[in-house]
């Protein structure tokens, strides 16, 4: 793994995400619907649905919203969504992956392309940047008020079946094989409060964004995340620490 701290970027963008909470709920509702429609409404027998429900809970989504999305998936007919990944480059050569769930491929492609073009980026061909990312399970345990040293955490992480542990003053960051993620998460959840637990795309190498490009890169990411059909945006950006 590179020395990249995913937690640093998560925290740096938290306020922007909080401001979009209503739209985030809307997007997670769509993900729940798609997961339940594909694998059934019981999260105990549908790992993908369970993962999305965990994501919904982490976003403080009300239980009634989750239940309505699952109930809707069991009805006849309904929407048909397609999963699409867009790839491109942003300012400063930042690699960007955009995952979308859409019922209109042309509409989504047009919107994503416009966001890249208007904010200093370029939409690329399929495969142009995806090889720069690895699909990983990611778990973060905040160190505040946690009386555990790095050696103890390392033992617990390895015993749980994880691949890697990265430590900073603020957080323990655990990376896993995606297939092992549920077991690792459940094992660590018995001992620790998990600040974040998700399947994500981790850049193999990061790009340090120069100060004069930070606003432009963040604006592009914001525009992409604000699209109704976009569920996740992953980048190789490493933003400078705020003073």
Angle at 136 between CA 134 and CA 141, to 5 degrees: 135
pLDDT one-digit tens code per residue, 147-185: 999 999 999 999 999 999 999 888 999 999 999 998 999
Structure tokens at 70: 């699952």
In a shared domain, residues 48 and 146: no
Domain final residue, candidates 73, 101, 121: 73
Structural domain boundaries, residue 211 = 82-131+204-238
* Domain containing residue 167: CATH number: 3.30.70.980
Q: Would you state the pLDDT for residue 240?
A: 86
State the CB neighbour count (10 A cutoff) for residue 177.
Answer: 15
Q: How far apart are CA 243 and CA 240, in angstroms?
A: 9
Record the pTM: 0.83
pLDDT one-digit tens code per residue, 11-23: 555 555 555 667 8
Range list of H helices, 100-180: 105-118, 150-160
In a shared domain, residues 123 and 90: yes
Tally of domains within the chain: 3
Q: How far apart are CA 57 and CA 187, in angstroms?
A: 18
Give pLDDT < 70 ranges for the chain: 1-21, 76-78, 242-243
């Amino acid at each position: 793994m590179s020395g990249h701290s995913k937690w640093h970027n998560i925290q740096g963008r938290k306020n922007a995400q909080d401001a979009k909470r209503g739209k985030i709920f809307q997007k997670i509702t769509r993900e729940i619907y798609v997961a339940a429609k594909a694998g059934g409404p019981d999260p105990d027998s549908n790992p993908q649905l369970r993962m999305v429900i965990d994501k919904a809970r982490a976003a403080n989504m009300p239980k009634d919203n989750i239940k309505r999305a699952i109930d809707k998936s069991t009805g006849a007919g309904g929407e048909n969504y397609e999963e699409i990944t867009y790839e491109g480059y942003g300012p400063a050569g930042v690699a960007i992956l955009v995952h979308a769930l859409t019922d209109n491929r042309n509409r989504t492609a047009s919107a994503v392309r416009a966001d890249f073009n208007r904010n200093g980026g370029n939409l690329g061909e399929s495969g142009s940047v995806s090889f720069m990312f690895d699909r990983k399970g990611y778990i973060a345990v905040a160190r505040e008020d946690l009386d555990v040293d790095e050696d103890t955490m390392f033992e617990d992480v390895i015993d749980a079946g994880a691949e890697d542990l990265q430590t900073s003053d603020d957080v323990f960051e655990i990376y896993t094989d995606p297939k092992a993620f549920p077991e690792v998460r459940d094992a660590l959840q018995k001992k620790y409060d998990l600040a974040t637990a998700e399947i994500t795309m981790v850049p193999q190498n990061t790009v340090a964004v120069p100060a004069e490009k930070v606003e432009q890169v963040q604006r592009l990411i914001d525009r992409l995340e604000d699209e109704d059909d976009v569920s996740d945006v992953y980048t190789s950006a490493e933003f400078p620490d705020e003073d």
